[in-house]
Structure 1
Amino acid sequence: MDKDVSAGSKASPLDRLGHLALGLTLLAFGLGHTEVIDGVSAADAVTLATYVGGIALFVAGLLAFRDNDAFTGTAFAGLGAFWFTWGVSADAQVSANAAGLFLLLFALVALTLTAAAAGGSTLTRTTYALMFVALLLLAIAQFGDSDGLAKVGGWFAAGGGLLAWYGATAALANWPTALPGRPAGRGVTAAG
């Protein structure tokens, strides 16, 4: 994506599809952890995570690699592997520490994507940063058996999901993705 001017001008169709899949999955996963909707838990996001977040995102990553887009390929294939693994193993009986370790390892993947997106759009960087914080909080919640911390992590995940969804929507609709710059005030000079 370009430098926050308009997500629609240079975003590839794979980028749009991938961020839409990531956004919907992360939003469902996050809202499930918040338990803000009565009767909806993170376990209810398993099917969406497996097929949309897992398979669709992974395939979008492979196609991005085919197009020589290493960042997008790495991001989408890696996150597709995360969602697919989480989705198919949701019913598995594992210890809280094993679940926490899984989330912590993928928090590190999200941190890597945040750092690697430094030259990209603010929406993309912020989406991955929110995902990192969410997975880190959810991992700590697993290690410490803290429902309250899991809910906070869920809100970070939901926020990241909304940003990814907005980014994909903005790319399709040619909406702007950055706030207008503040003009230099009196006595302030802009370096060029």
Structure 2
Amino acid sequence: MATTTETADHTLNKEYAATGHQDHAPVNGANEATHRAAYGPFGGNPLARVDTHESARFPAFGGDFQPGAYRPPKKSIANPAPLGLSAFALTTFVLSLINLDTRHVATPNIVVSLAFGYGGLVQLLAGMWEMAVGNTFGATALSSYGGFWISYAIILTPGGFDIVAAYTVDSAGKEIPGGATALDNALGFFLIGWFIFTTILLFCTLRSTVAFFSLFFTLDLAFLFLAIAKFQPGSADGLNKAGGVFGLFAAFLAWYNALAGIADSSNSFFVIPVAHFPWSDKGREKRGIKSERETV
């Protein structure tokens, strides 16, 4: 007959297994306190580190910026994801129109104000608030892209930092031979770095919703085309426009996910449809297949 301690240990192990962290060793009575201290009461879920007594899990949802099943937090603040998504969307929308040379506007300096204020500061704050609600993915993504817009605005800001001038003009005020090419290559390195980072986040959305995954997929392609445009100046016009097209898709998808997080029965006559991938937990549930967490 199982002892009380063994029963409690079995229940706790089952709870840890449900979080998908099978790499941790089983917990016995002697290790229970240490294990809880190290991983938290729910196994240290990296996507939603939430201290809550709710046993239910919500499916992945772009409106909450959650790429995987997560436990509902005990919220003391509003959902910050729609704010961060909206800040990202508007700033990306304007820059993408400029990359497309819309109405012959090709100079991106108008984006500086948005990149500092809305896409930068506001999105960074939304990322910090995602930390408060326990969303590690949302905090990482929104804070990072807030940092992207602030750093991009710094590059475009004339004087002060003199980033562009450092590549193109020497200390005597004369043009540096090959300086424009060096600047393009440096900007290409900058954009390639963000392409790599976005690819990392893209992998975390493979079991989420179609709209959530598509947001990062189109953004990833936008960074890629814009980076290649810097390395291939002869084809820059077409590549910049390709980046602008995918940037527009990313902007509208960000707005779509933001609306999904805002609209509900209390303020809207309709709810934004959310399509889950068939291999996601929600998709498997709809097909009557147990999720991996339930079969462990």
Name stretches of at least 5 consecutive residues in structure 2 with no aligned partner: 1-57, 65-71, 73-77, 158-162, 168-182, 265-270, 278-286, 290-296
Cα distance change of structure 1 residues 53 and 115 upon mapping to structure 2, 3 Å threshold: same
Equivalent residue, structure 1, for 2:222: 134
Tell me if 1:44 matches 2:94.
Answer: no
Q: Deviations over 1:71-100 (max 9, x none)?
A: 000000111111110012114314100001
Asked which structure has the greater RCO (Cα within 8 Å, sep 6+), the reply is 1
> Is 1:163 the counterpart of 2:259 in the alignment?
no
State how far apart, in whole Å, the 2-side matches of 1:158 and 1:41 are: 17
Letter in 2 for 1:62: M
| Structure 1 position 177 matched with structure 2 position 273 | yes
Deviations 1:51-79 (A, max 9, x none): 11111111111121232210000000111
Query: Who wins on radius of gyration, i.e. which is larger?
Result: 2
Greater mean alpha carbon deviation, residues 156-165 or residues 29-38? 29-38
1:19-51 CA-to-partner distances (Å, cap 9, x unmatched) read 111111111121111112333543322211221
Q: C-alpha distance in 2, partners of 1:191/1:63?
A: 36
Q: Distance in 2 between matches of 1:191 and 1:70?
A: 30
> RMSD over aligned Cα, in angstroms?
2.5
2:57 pairs with 1:13: no
CA distance in 1, matches of 2:212, 2:108: 24
Of 155-164 and 58-67, deviating more is 58-67
The yes-or-no answer on 1:34 pairing with 2:100 is yes
Q: Deviation per CA, 1:130-172, whole angstroms, max 9, x where unpaired?
A: 1110011000001111111111111101110011012212322
**One-letter amino acid matched to 1:70:** T
Quote the Cα distance in structure 1 between the aligned partners of 2:97 and 2:59.
Answer: 30
One-letter amino acid of the structure 1 residue matched with residue 249 of structure 2? G
Contact 2:98–2:105 (Cα < 8 Å) also in 1: no
Does the 8 Å contact 2:89/2:254 carry over to 1?
yes
Answer 1 or 2: which has greater helix percent: 1
Q: Distance in 2 between matches of 1:172 and 1:46?
A: 27
* Letter matched to residue 129 of structure 2: L
Q: When the two structures are superposed, what TM-score results if normalisation uses the length of structure 2?
A: 0.56
Match of 1:109 among 197, 209, 214: 197
